[in-house]
Structure 1
Amino acid sequence: MSRDGYALVGDIGGTNARFALVRRGQAGLESVQVRPCGDYTDLTGAIGDYLHEVGVDAVTEACLAVASSDRGNRVQLTNNHLCFDRDDLRRRFQWRSLKIVNDFTAMALGVPQVDAARLVHVCGGPGDPGRPRLVMGPGTGLGVSGLVPTRQGWVPLRTEGGHVDFAPVDDTEIAILRLLTLRYGRVSVERILCGSGLLNLYQAHADIQGLPAPFKAPEQITEAALGHADALAEQTLQHFCGILGRVAGNASLTLGSAGGVYLCGGILPRILQFFLASPFQAGFEAKGRMTSVMVSTPVYVVTEPCTGLLGAAQALINPEV
């Protein structure tokens, strides 16, 4: 079956590839599917399998949100093995047009489309709906974007804010920085504020305290922390949330995001109750003379798993993208 009135949208992250169909000129998602990136050697296979499974021979156009900093014709994803050539992909599926956007640009565009029931208030407010919004979140990496309001709608900002320098604030964090510097040379906040970063933080705490570090995956650390089964894991996850609060607060001050801070990504929804009771708020608000600004800035966790797809659909019809 050919769906000439449909477009394909995709959100290709470090772990999963999400796909959906949208009717031309609209943004509602149909036939949403999630496919593990590790199941495929190339993106063509994932797209082909999706179209076959939903019974579609062809669509007319596509927009793919990808975790990549590449700006040329060949795109290599930042946090997994997938890569593709834009022109080859368009020709392979005979699309009239193919738009590629950064995954967190799409995440930002999707935030205004998320139902209010999928937003969990963390702290702050009431904010100013006419001001910019900050969109960020830890997952396979640390994505950072923003939305600037105009008379025509939202303009998304493409940034690499997850790669700013980690700034320690006490002796323990200075020791963590030294350990990670030996491993990486330069330590960005993404080296701590993502899945593999949580493991880095856990192992650094273990080294500093002279403790064993039996967990070898971030999922093991979060499971032990949430179950109060391991003091080091719990301490690490608390510290992770506190650092995220400081980094989010810094980015909010830089952007002037009085319109709100929206925390996306795969990690926070899975640890939501722990996160709400964590040092995040203290880290976010502790900005000296700017504390009153932070207290008035609302922060939300976005629990909608298809935010990036919603944003990719918006990117198809947004002339600023």
Structure 2
Amino acid sequence: MTANTCILVGDIGGTHARFALAKQAGGGLECIQVLRCADYSGPEAAIADFMGRANGPEVLAACFAVAAPVAGDTVSMTNNHWVFDRPSIQRRFGWQQFLLVNDYIAMALGVLQVPEATLIRLGGGAPDKRRPKLILGPGTGLGVSALVPSHQGWLPLATEGGHVDFAPGDETEASILGRLRAQFGRVSVERLLCGPGLVNLYRELAVVRGRPATLSLAEDISAAALAGVDTLAVETLQRFCTILGRVAGNAVLTLGAYGGVYLSGGMVPAMLPFFLGSGFREEFENKGRMTPLLAQTPVWVVTDPCTGLYGAASALELPEA
């Protein structure tokens, strides 16, 4: 790779597409841009727009993290209208290599590179460096991944852990589950732990409490809760945090992820003071006989918005890449 060539990396979620350039796989990022997916007909239009903004650099390879299962050459985004056809995009832009990875594969790789100052600790003891690390976070959906230690270093694990079944923690949540089941049939944790999930939780909690649901957007519910001007919104956000704690604790037990938990995505950093004072940690540790294991497990909130881009650049160095 010469001084005039670079790698294109992308982090494509349900709402936003982040793009950047890197001089080498795993290298630093330049020309970072955040685009709204709804403003583009598909990935080709967004890529072309970004390349124009970056003054058309010569790109030899590209890696995009996408919020969808990655199997084969065609990927349909889970929470927006974009469809990736890897070979056709590669041909159009003339890249020598084009890799698609699940967004939480990239997020997992990215947490190994973010500055320590962007990690906010929430309890626990020293991480067990011999055990996996859990990475999860609510945004437009709920992403879940892990890093597994090996002789080759940390290996990322692709999962669809956001789609496991929701288990209520009390009678109020059991009532909410019943109402969501009537609407969706099977209810996954993502039906509550993401932006649209926050709306579901608020709307159904309003019915259970016999209150009017006056808000309809996740950002409005969060803003009202953070400002303390709507008690229903406050309870909704508190339950959001405790359910996230329960789900994270369950995932730690399932994976043996005593190497620590990294909470990423857009929602938790945006409500950080509220989150740090919520019932997340208490519910995270509330595992009966397994409570001592969870009490020792540290949790960090990842506040660097470029985590997925760092990981996409690193993914080009994976053996299968």
- TM-score of the pair, normalised by structure 2: 0.97
8 Å CA contact 1:58–1:93 kept in 2: the answer is: no
Aligned-residue Cα RMSD (Å) equals 1.3
Q: How does 1:97-136 map to 2 (within 5 A)?
A: 97-136=97-136
Match of 1:186 in 2: 186
Matched, 1:168 2:168: yes
Match of 1:39 in 2: 39
Match of 1:264 in 2: 264
Mapped partners of 1:3, 1:178: distance in 2: 59
Mapped partners of 2:215, 2:295: distance in 1: 36
Mapped partners of 2:4, 2:16: distance in 1: 27
Match of 2:314 in 1: 314
Deviation, structure 1 residue 167: 0.6
Match of 2:52 in 1: 52
Q: Which amino acid aligns with 1:51?
A: M
Match of 1:71 in 2: 71
8 Å CA contact 2:26–2:311 kept in 1: the answer is: no
Structure 1 segments, 4+ long, off by >4 Å, are none
8 Å CA contact 1:5–1:24 kept in 2: the answer is: no
Matched, 1:217 2:224: no
After alignment, is 103-112 or 125-134 more displaced?
A: 125-134
Deviation, structure 1 residue 82: 0.8
Mapped partners of 1:320, 1:125: distance in 2: 35
Q: Per the alignment, do residues 206 and 25 of structure 1 end up closer, same or farther by CA in structure 2, a change over 3 Å counting?
A: closer
SS of 1:59's equivalent in the other structure is strand
Q: Which amino acid aligns with 2:20?
A: A
Match of 1:207 in 2: 207
Q: Which amino acid aligns with 1:229?
A: V
Q: Which amino acid aligns with 1:105?
A: I
Mapped partners of 1:65, 1:25: distance in 2: 14
SS of 1:123's equivalent in the other structure is coil
8 Å CA contact 1:135–1:261 kept in 2: the answer is: yes
Number of residue pairs aligned between Structure 1 and Structure 2: 320
Q: Which amino acid aligns with 1:170?
A: D
Q: Deviations over 1:217-254 (max 9, x none)?
A: 01111111011100000001001100000000000111
SS of 1:300's equivalent in the other structure is strand
Mapped partners of 1:130, 1:64: distance in 2: 29
Deviation, structure 1 residue 125: 1.6
Deviation, structure 1 residue 83: 0.8
Deviation, structure 1 residue 24: 2.7
Unaligned runs of 5+ in 1: none
Unaligned runs of 5+ in 2: none
- TM-score of the pair, normalised by structure 1: 0.97
8 Å CA contact 1:176–1:201 kept in 2: the answer is: yes
Deviation, structure 1 residue 3: 6.8
